[in-house]
Structures are given as C-alpha cells and as structure tokens.
C-alpha cells in the first residue's frame, strides 16, 4: 500500500504489519532486514516511512491506571484521543499535548512532542515514567531514568530508531473541569507579541497565531492565546461530560492553486479581524483550545495532491526576533505565505538526545510543496544555521544531512553511540534516517 505522512509528501509503497503479541512482534523484527515502527502517521514528513513498517494499530490496550497517582500504563498504539475520552470525565488530563489528538502514545514518545505548556513543564517525555521497548535484536527491555537510562534517553525523541515501543507508563495530571479559561490578546507587531509572551510567562498554556501577510512594522500582528484549566469549585459536577463537537471533512484534495496568496491574505486578515477587542476572555472546551484543527478531518487535503510541508524551527531566545524578521523577508522575496503560522516560546532543553525544543522561540509555517517552496526552505536553513537554531524532525521531509548534523551537533553523537550499540546493523531505519544518516 502507498503511505505518506500528514504532509502527503513524500509517498512510499510500503508493506505494513501489525500484531499485539510480543512473541509475534519479536518474530516479525528478527525476520525483517529493515523495519520502522509507525502509528497514526501524523508525523508530517518521512520520519515514520519505510518499505517495511510495523504498525502499532493492534497494540491498543489500556493496561493499568493508578487512581492515586495518575500513572497510566498503556500499549503504544493507544491514541491521545482515546485517553482524553476515557480520562477527562474521570478528572485526569494529558500532562503535555500536541495540537492534535490523533497521535499514538508511541508516536508522542518517539517525537518527544511538546505543547502549549512547554515553557512551564517541558516535553511529553518528561512525564514518561518507563518504556517497554523491543530492541532491534528482539530482546525486550523496560527502560526508565534508572534502568537502561541511555536507551531511554535515546528512545524519547528517537523517532522510532531504537526499536519498537510496546508499552509506556505516563503520568497524567488532575483536572476539575474539561474547560479552559482562555484569554486572547491582540498584538500589532512582533515587539508587542514578544512582550506579551514574557509578561504572561507564568500562564500555563500559551501560543500565538501570526498574520503571515503583515510585514515590516506590522510584522508580528497576531493573536496570543493564553489558557488555564478552569477550576470547578463546586464538586457537584463530578462527572464531566465531553461535549460532542460537529466535524467537517475535507472530502478530496483541493486543486493546488486553491491556497493562492490572495486567498491566504484574506483568510489571515479575517482571522485577525474576528477579534475586535484588545483582550478577550472566554471559557472554552478543551478540544477547541488544544485541538482546533481536529474539527476538520483531512485538513491536509487543502494543500492539494502534491502535499505540503511544515517548516518548524527553534532559535535561541536572544536571536529569535532577528531570525523571524529574516525568515519573513525571505518569504516575501519568494512571494509565499503560510496558511497558518504559529509562534510559541519554549522553556529549557531536556536531556533526551534527539529532542527538538530548546530555550527560545519556535515558529511553524505550512507551505504547499513545489519547487519554489523547496528553494525557499533552503534559504530559510541558512538563517537557522546562522542564528544557532534547528528544525523539528517530526515535521521535516527535506533538510540535508549536512544541515542536520550542524544544527544538532551537540546532541547527535550521544544518540549515534546508543543507536550503534542497540542496532549495529541499522535495521531500524526510515526514509528520513537514511537521508540524515542517523
């Protein structure tokens, strides 16, 4: 079958197998010459793609939950959606969540995903207490910060290259309501937006949307979304109902000219203008706050059949503003605009070898794939390199081996050391790992 990541680029003809029994999975791995595990294929690029894939689809059981501590043990194919559906009504929530619920636990670990609270609590990996991992030699190990800690640190953020994650223990956090108190702040330019980020650095959740088409003095015109878990004071509302939200489905790939600059400009203008006041407070359901795009099935189809790529970088805090201004300059030179541009301030880096977040600002932009955008990405890369930044492997489908090694310089050696220890034949590889010589 033909598979691709969420960006629909690149595509590959692949054989997919799945199983729930450890002994069968061991046999699958020992018989294969090369393999890569994957889940819901929500990585954007080629990090979960290979000719022979182990799908976690059948590893989808909930195994244990400790109602005192919130420690949840699940198999790796369980999705965040399923966890939310079961545990939000019981008063528990994911400690860190990316912008979609259609992600498996295995995928969340392998990408070491981050959320709107990174500046406060760090990545998903910080809440993983242990991992049951099937190593490339088919041996099964339980790893955590004490036992096989180096394998643990290589596996979190290790994009599936250290083996198959079978089970994991995750610490959930207690909540009293499925509601989020949201504050929306308008900013007129980048300075104001950055000020707002630092002013509200103590707020649990924060993320900003930027109008891609405002330039020069207006660059950074956007909306900062802040959120706190709503504290339900009266405990009468013990059972928290999850409201069903209606869904829209994009039924087919849009013609590639749909997202032309004119359309994008209008969309961005309207999105900004829908907020009249400088500051707005509202109470919203968790899914509207955390997963706005999940309400549109197959939103990736709006980029057309050639697919799209998300360019997500992080640049250290002192260089962030300069880098963003330059990136915008390049985007304008190329006459391109991103449909959705998201800015977020990260907290400190963690000790997982290939983890992406780093103290600074991260910017994510979506572009339909074509020759021009690929050229533009190369131009972006030069800026990122110059300012000491790096790209998120989970979103990448095109960066060069050389660029990758320069930007992950300080982390890559340790990862490679562990990788060669557990997988000397490089059995676990993806299109991306081959491209990046990982």
Partner 1 sequence: MKDKKLANKRSCLILGGTSEIGLAIANKFAENGFDLILAARNYDEVQKNANNINLRFNVKTDALKMDILDVTSQNKLIDELQFLPDIVVFSIGLLDKGKTAEENFEIAKEIIDVNFTYSLNILNKFAALFEARKFGAIIGIGSVAGDRGRKSNYIYGSAKAAFATYLSGLRNRLFQSNVRVITVKPGFVQTKMVAHLDLPKIITASPEKIAKDVYKAFVHKKDIVYSLKFYKLLMLIVYHIPEILFKRINL
- The DSSP code sequence of 329-347 is HHHHHTT---S-EEEEE--
In contact, 414 and 21? CB cutoff 8 Å: no
- Neighbour tally for 24: CB within 10 Å: 13
The dihedrals phi and psi of 79, each to the nearest 5 degrees, come to: -95, 160
Minimum CB separation of residue 25 from partner 1 in Å reads 13
The smaller minimum CB distance to partner 1, of residues 17 and 284, is found at 17
User: Given phi > 0 = left and psi -120 to 50 = alpha, else beta, which region is 266?
Assistant: alpha
The smaller minimum CB distance to partner 1, of residues 64 and 293, is found at 64
- Neighbour tally for 89: CB within 10 Å: 14
The smaller minimum CB distance to partner 1, of residues 130 and 319, is found at 130
Maximum C-alpha span of the chain? 62
In contact, 289 and 245? CB cutoff 8 Å: no
Instruction: Determine which helix (DSSP H) or strand (DSSP E) holds 314, and give its type and residue range.
Output: strand 308-316
Minimum CB separation of residue 20 from partner 1 in Å reads 8
In contact, 175 and 91? CB cutoff 8 Å: yes
The smaller minimum CB distance to partner 1, of residues 17 and 379, is found at 17
The C-alpha atoms of residue 435 and residue 50 are separated, in whole angstroms, by 12
The dihedrals phi and psi of 83, each to the nearest 5 degrees, come to: -65, -45
Angle between helices 190-199 and 317-333 (to 10 degrees): 150
The smaller minimum CB distance to partner 1, of residues 2 and 234, is found at 2
The C-alpha atoms of residue 406 and residue 402 are separated, in whole angstroms, by 6
Minimum CB separation of residue 250 from partner 1 in Å reads 24
- Cα-atom radius of gyration of the chain, to the nearest Å? 21
The smaller minimum CB distance to partner 1, of residues 22 and 254, is found at 22
Minimum CB separation of residue 89 from partner 1 in Å reads 9
Minimum CB separation of residue 303 from partner 1 in Å reads 30
Minimum CB separation of residue 95 from partner 1 in Å reads 18
Minimum CB separation of residue 74 from partner 1 in Å reads 9
Q: Is 225 helix (H, G, I), strand (E, B) or coil?
A: strand
The smaller minimum CB distance to partner 1, of residues 172 and 340, is found at 172
Minimum CB separation of residue 71 from partner 1 in Å reads 13
Minimum CB separation of residue 239 from partner 1 in Å reads 11
The smaller minimum CB distance to partner 1, of residues 24 and 145, is found at 24
The smaller minimum CB distance to partner 1, of residues 75 and 148, is found at 75
Q: Is 116 helix (H, G, I), strand (E, B) or coil?
A: coil
- Neighbour tally for 329: CB within 10 Å: 15
Minimum CB separation of residue 16 from partner 1 in Å reads 13
363 prior amide bond cis, ω within 30: no
Minimum CB separation of residue 194 from partner 1 in Å reads 43
Cα angle 87, 111, 398; round to 5: 140
Residues near partner 1 (CB under 8 A): 20-21, 61-65, 75, 82, 86
What single DSSP character describes residue 302?
G
Q: Are strands 390-391 and 308-316 parallel, antiparallel or unpaired?
A: antiparallel
Cα dihedral 186, 192, 194, 200 in deg (nearest 10): -60
């Amino acid at each position: 079958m033909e598979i691709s990541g969420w960006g629909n680029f690149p595509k590959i003809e692949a054989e997919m197998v799945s199983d729930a029994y450890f002994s069968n999975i061991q046999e699958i791995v020992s018989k294969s010459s090369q393999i890569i595990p994957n889940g819901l294929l929500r990585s954007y690029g080629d990090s979960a793609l290979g000719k022979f894939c182990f799908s976690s689809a059948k590893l989808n059981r909930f195994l244990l939950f400790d109602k005192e501590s919130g420690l949840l043990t699940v198999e790796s194919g369980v999705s965040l959606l399923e966890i939310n559906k079961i545990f939000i009504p019981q008063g528990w929530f994911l400690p860190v969540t990316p912008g979609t619920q259609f992600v498996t636990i295995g995928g969340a670990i392998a990408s070491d995903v981050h959320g709107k609270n990174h500046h406060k609590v760090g990545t998903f990996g910080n809440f993983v207490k242990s991992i049951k991992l099937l190593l490339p030699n088919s041996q099964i190990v339980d790893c955590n910060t004490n036992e096989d800690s180096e394998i643990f640190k290589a596996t979190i953020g290790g994009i599936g290259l250290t083996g198959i994650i079978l089970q994991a223990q995750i610490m959930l956090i207690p909540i009293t309501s499925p509601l989020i108190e949201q504050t929306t702040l308008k900013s007129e330019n980048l300075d104001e937006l950055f000020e707002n980020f630092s002013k509200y650095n103590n707020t649990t959740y924060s993320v900003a949307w930027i109008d891609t088409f405002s330039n020069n003095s207006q660059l950074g015109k956007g909306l900062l979304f802040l959120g706190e878990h709503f504290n339900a004071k009266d405990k009468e509302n013990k059972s928290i109902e999850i409201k069903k939200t209606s869904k829209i489905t994009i039924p087919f790939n849009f013609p590639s000219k749909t997202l032309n600059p004119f359309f994008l400009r209008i969309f961005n203008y309207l999105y900004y203008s829908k907020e009249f006041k400088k500051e707005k407070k509202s109470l919203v359901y968790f899914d509207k706050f955390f997963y706005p795009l999940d309400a549109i099935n197959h939103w990736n189809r709006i980029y057309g059949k050639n697919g799209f790529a998300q360019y997500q970088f992080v640049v250290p805090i002192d260089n962030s503003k300069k880098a963003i201004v330059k990136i915008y300059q390049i985007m304008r030179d190329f006459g391109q605009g991103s449909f959705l541009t998201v800015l977020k301030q990260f907290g400190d880096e963690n000790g997982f070898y290939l983890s992406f977040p780093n103290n600074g600002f991260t910017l994510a932009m979506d572009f339909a794939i074509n020759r021009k955008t690929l050229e533009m990405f190369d131009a972006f890369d030069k800026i990122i390199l110059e300012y000491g930044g790096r790209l998120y492997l989970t979103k990448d489908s095109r960066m060069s081996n050389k660029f990758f090694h320069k930007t992950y310089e300080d982390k890559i050696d340790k990862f490679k050391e562990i990788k060669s220890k557990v997988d000397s034949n490089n059995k676990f590889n993806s299109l991306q790992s081959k491209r990046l010589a990982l």
